[in-house]
């Protein structure tokens, strides 16, 4: 029932966002230049990071703010299942909003390449971009367990993301520019996402509503 509720609660926003972005990618002419693809990639990242922030910040804070959290917490459901379902459904939606248009773009280009990235690296680069979006979601999700106001969670999430980008993104971009492997970044992002989720679980387990 928790899965159904999460899906019903977020499906309209998710499907609208997905429809818009896939529609945009789908309707672009197949002859766009590399530079156009670059800007499209940047737009796609920014768009899905925005969506990640909205979905992450609304996960727990919005329910506490609207007083519906007490309703669900008074039911015989384990706390980890309440928070775990929220995380899983919203994470899947965020990741799908990024991966689906990317796959469409790749399929339309009809080459095993994503923007200027060589074939042997492109899967890792897509994974890194997806993990960046997932990180934006996970960190905002964590803040939504801590703070009560959705806007505050979004702001804190964006700040944390900017701090991360300021600390590591230039190195990663340099590696990408030089077509180097970015395995370390994949590990770092995976660890950060897992840590953010784990912290959310622990905080929510002890949260008083």
Partner 1 sequence: MNAFAIETNKLTKRFGSVFAVNELDLQVRVGSVFGFLGRNGAGKTTTIKTLLGLIKPTSGSVHVLGMDPIKDGIEVKQRVGYVAENQKMYDWMKVKEIIRFTSGFYRDWDAAIAADFCKRFELNPSAKVGSLSKGQQMRLALMLALSSRPQLLILDDPTMGLDPITRKEFLNDIVMALQEEGRTVFFSTHILSELERVADTVAIIDRGKLKVAGEIDLLKTTVKSVRLTFENSPPNDILIDGLLRVQSDGRDCLLTLTDFSEDKLGQLKQRYQPMRAEVCNLSLDEIFAEYVLSR
Please give the residue ranges that form the binding site for partner 1 (CB under 8 A).
Answer: 1, 4-5, 8-9, 66-68, 70-71, 73-78, 206, 208-209
Give φ, ψ of 144 to 5 degrees: -70, -20
Three-state SS for 76? coil
The distance of closest approach from Cβ of residue 94 to partner 1 in the complex, given in angstroms and rounded to an integer, is: 21
> How many CB atoms are closer than 10 A to CB 139?
28
Of the pair 9, 185, the CB lying nearest partner 1 is at 9
Cα separation, 59 vs 141, whole angstroms: 6
Nearer to partner 1, 9 or 93 (CB): 9
Distance of closest approach, residue 60 Cβ to partner 1, in angstroms: 15
Q: 153 and 147 in contact (C-beta within 8 Å)?
A: yes
Task: Show contacts of 42-50: CB within 8 Å, 24+ apart.
Answer: 44/98, 44/101, 44/102, 45/98, 45/129, 45/132, 45/133, 47/17, 47/21, 47/97, 48/21, 48/94, 48/97, 48/98, 48/133, 49/132, 49/133, 49/136, 49/161
Give residue for tokens 């007490």.
Answer: 70
Based on CB atoms, which residue is closest to partner 1, 8 or 174? 8
- Shortest distance, position 71 Cβ to partner 1, whole Å: 6
Q: Quick one: 24 or 201, whose CB is closer to partner 1?
A: 201
Q: Which is nearer to partner 1, 12 or 177 (CB)?
A: 12
Nearest distance in Å: CB 79, partner 1: 8
Compare residues 68 and 107 and give the one whose CB is closer to partner 1.
68
Rounded least distance, CB 90 to partner 1, Å: 16
| Exposure letters 145-154 (e unless 16+ CB within 10 A, then b) | bbbeebeebb
User: Residue 51 CB, nearest distance to partner 1 (Å)?
Assistant: 20
Question: Strand pairing partners for 117?
Answer: 114
């Amino acid at each position: 029932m928790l899965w159904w509720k999460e899906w019903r609660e977020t499906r309209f926003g998710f499907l609208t966002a997905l429809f818009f972005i896939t529609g945009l990618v789908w309707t672009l002419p197949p002859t766009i230049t590399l530079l156009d693809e670059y800007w499209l990639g940047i737009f796609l990242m920014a768009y899905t990071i925005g969506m990640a922030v909205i979905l992450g910040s609304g996960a727990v804070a919005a329910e506490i703010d609207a007083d519906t959290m007490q309703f669900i917490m008074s039911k015989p459901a384990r706390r980890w299942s309440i928070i775990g379902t929220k995380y899983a459904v919203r994470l899947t939606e965020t990741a799908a909003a990024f991966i689906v248009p990317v796959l469409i773009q790749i399929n339309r280009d009809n080459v095993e390449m994503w923007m200027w990235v060589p074939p042997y690296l492109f899967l890792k680069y897509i994974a890194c971009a997806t993990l960046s979006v997932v990180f934006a979601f996970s960190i905002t999700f964590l803040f939504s367990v801590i703070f009560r106001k959705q806007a505050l969670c979004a702001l804190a999430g964006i700040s944390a993301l900017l701090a991360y980008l300021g600390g590591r993104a230039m190195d990663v971009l340099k590696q990408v520019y030089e077509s180097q492997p970015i395995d370390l970044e994949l590990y770092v992002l995976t660890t950060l996402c897992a840590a953010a989720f784990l912290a959310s679980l622990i905080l929510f387990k002890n949260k008083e509503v």
